[in-house]
Chains A and B, each alone.
Chain A
Amino acid sequence: MVVKLENVTKTYKKGVRALDNLSFEVRDGEIFGLLGPNGSGKTTSINCLLGLLKYESGNIEVFGEPMSANRYDLKAEIGFVPQNVAVYTELTVYENVDYFCGLYVKEKEKRRRLVEEALNFVSLLEYRNVYPRKLSVGLLRRLNIACGIAHKPRLIIFDEPTVGVDPQTRNRVLEGIKRLNREGATVIYTSHYMEEVEQICDYIVIMDKGKVIAHGTNEELKASIRHGETIEVQLLEPKKEYLELFGKIHNVYSTYYKDDILVIKSEKGSTNIPNVLEILKDKGIKYGLLFSEIPTLNDVFLEITGKELRD
């Protein structure tokens, strides 16, 4: 077990309960996803497990040992990419990575190699002598990542590393994380983007209001809910009576309109597209697009909490 949180409760000064008896475990070698909407306590739990925050109760173990601010041996094996870009504007790209790496790696030659590797990893080699002020948001994010991973830690924690970056950089970051994982690092990845988590995570914990509301692999999570398939039909003349009409199909448990799109939700293990098409044809209902979606983590979240993952 690489990380273990047990009944951790944390209340901020103003009385905000950020973590409420939170427990989860991260296994060696996996990409662990911590998924939750804004303010669900992802960053708070990460800061607790890094030994930065006080918490009222619970236990936190890292690499099987109790974590505290003075456990330098444990800290040496952890890499952290914080949610906010944390670099020195007074230092160049290279110097930043070198500085933070130097807090872990003392040996000069080895460090030089590691810094080069990290810069190469985030494709910042050509910006090595540039000061952070001159970097775009995407490049800064990449520098932020390089600073956190250069020392090749066993456990790397990414706290929403893709907020505010373009899709291209995002994909690159995600690919990079997978590569780090293949090279042997255990990864904790927090995000409120379900697509990202679905894409890269082996195991997922979904949080809301400081609690774990579901956990499992991507497939397990989706299998755990009643929902199986969403069919959306763009109608040219949406009518109220259609809701009832399609609701009568076997295994359909919910129908509603999203603007002029009729949403038909079916239970697990059923494929209702032929049925829907048949009714459309029989009744001569005019429609534009029709598409079907397999369940997403958003459906999981929606079914458990009754609200959308993203606001």
Chain B
Amino acid sequence: MRLFAIRLKMLLKSRANVFWTFIYPLLLGLFFYMGFGNLSSRSSFATVHVSVASDMADPVLLEAFTSAEYDDGKKVFQVHAKLSREELEAVLQEERITGYVYREGGEITYRIRTNGIGESIIKSFLDEFIQMEHLFQELGQLDPDVRAGMLADLMKDNRYLQEINTATNPDYNNFVIYFYALIAMTCMFGSFWGVSLVGDLQADNSYRALRTAIAPESKLKLLTIYFLAALALHFSGNLLLIFYLKYILDVEFSQNLLLIILASFVGCVAGIAMGTFLAGIIRAPERKKEGIMVVVSLFSSALSGLMMVKVKYWAETYFPPLRFINPAGLVTDSFFSLYYFSDLSRYIRDLLTLSVLSILLVFGTYLKMRGEKYDSV
């Protein structure tokens, strides 16, 4: 505990640390915000290709999709129907459609492939639709045909579109996903903490580390304490960012804030773990390791689709295991799944994978450092 406190003080005393952890993400958040303020005022979107699973053949939903229009009379959705689930999945993977919808056990469910404006429209549309449907059910047993017509009419209001494209009403701002991306990237910057904590434990890195290395203190204990201290700071930096986005910039995260915070916490753990592991196995001066971390965190973030969503899918198509070993990918995926799916199973799976990965990475670092003797110090 004392070691933890003193370690915190060491870290806090470093101006560079404080800047990168607390100030830099806030600045980025501000830039993002200013950038997207303009972007999100665009009013018209391209037609989205949606498919409806044939086994569903829900006339009400089909009607609603088909008749949805933008203000300028352009169709919102181009509906392809009469395909089996397997075929739909195939065309989705080929990116010929944006997403597809089916009914499973009475619940309307949808599949999308990436994230973007089209996907957001599908989501908003269905949210709205389901809400309407419930409303009608409560209103009583109307003739299904009448109901379908009324539903479709009501959906024509385009409320779901307004929610997406109205910058003045940030409540349902589509660009929130870019803020998720920002949080995820900030998590990855935790790798720098990994470098500094390993640097203070490996005797060949600095004289003070040498002094720590000759003390009768187990590497596992020190590694754990240093890790927790780094995590405490890194996570509080992330918390600050989240609260700043939410309460100062008024970015409205429509999801449960606690779940977002939880994902960011696990993301912080993963970021530091990745940095710890890489710094532990790479033999290089600290500056060089930091350089490597810049490249790795940006590269892994890029692979996770932060800058261009498609990259993630290309990468994972060519190298499937990436889905499980790229921490940045898992963090973004957990955020996106939080955004797109009300069902938490994918989110939970992502976080569990991340946790396991982090533990493996840190333990691997320990195995490497345990009883380590150096070629030169």
A residues with CB within 8 A of B? 12-13, 47, 50-54, 68-70, 72-73, 75-76, 78, 80, 82, 84-88, 90-91, 95, 98-100, 102-104, 108, 147-148
Contact = CB atoms under 8 A, between A and B. Distances in A.
A275 to B, nearest CB: 54
A78 B214 contact: yes
A103 B212 contact: yes
The 9 closest A-B pairs by CB, nearest first: A86-B207, A90-B13, A103-B215, A72-B216, A76-B216, A75-B216, A69-B371, A70-B371, A90-B10
Which residue among B203, B371, B373 has the maximum number of chain A CB atoms within 10 Å of its CB?
B373
B210 A52 contact: yes
Contacts, number: 84
Contacts of A85: 207
A54 B373 contact: yes
28 contacts: A12-B375, A13-B375, A52-B374, A52-B377, A53-B374, A53-B375, A54-B373, A54-B374, A69-B372, A69-B373, A72-B218, A75-B214, A78-B214, A80-B214, A82-B207, A82-B210, A84-B207, A85-B207, A86-B207, A90-B9, A90-B10, A91-B6, A95-B9, A99-B6, A100-B212, A100-B215, A102-B2, A103-B217
Taking chain A's interface residues, is the majority helix, strand, or loop, or is none over half, making it mixed? loop
A103 B216 contact: yes
Interface in B209-236: 210-218
A108 B47 CA distance: 70
Given A68-B371, A72-B218, A82 B6 contact: no
B168 interface: no
Interface of B: 2-3, 6, 9-11, 13-14, 203, 206-208, 210-218, 370-377
Contacts of B206: 86
Contact of B377 (A47, A72, A76): A47
Nearest to A71: B216
Contacts of A76: 216
Contacts of B215: 75, 100, 103-104
Contact of A86 (B9, B211, B372, B374): B211
A164 B113 CA distance: 67
Contacts of B374: 52-54
Contacts of A75: 214-216
Contacts of B13: 90-91
A208 B210 CA distance: 25
A187 to B, nearest CB: 16
A84 B207 CA distance: 7
A51 B374 CA distance: 9
B376 A82 contact: no
B373 A86 contact: no
B225 to A, nearest CB: 11
Contacts of A102: 2-3, 6
Contacts of B207: 82, 84-86
Contact of A51 (B211, B218, B370, B373): B373
A85 B203 CA distance: 14
Contact of A72 (B11, B212, B217): B217
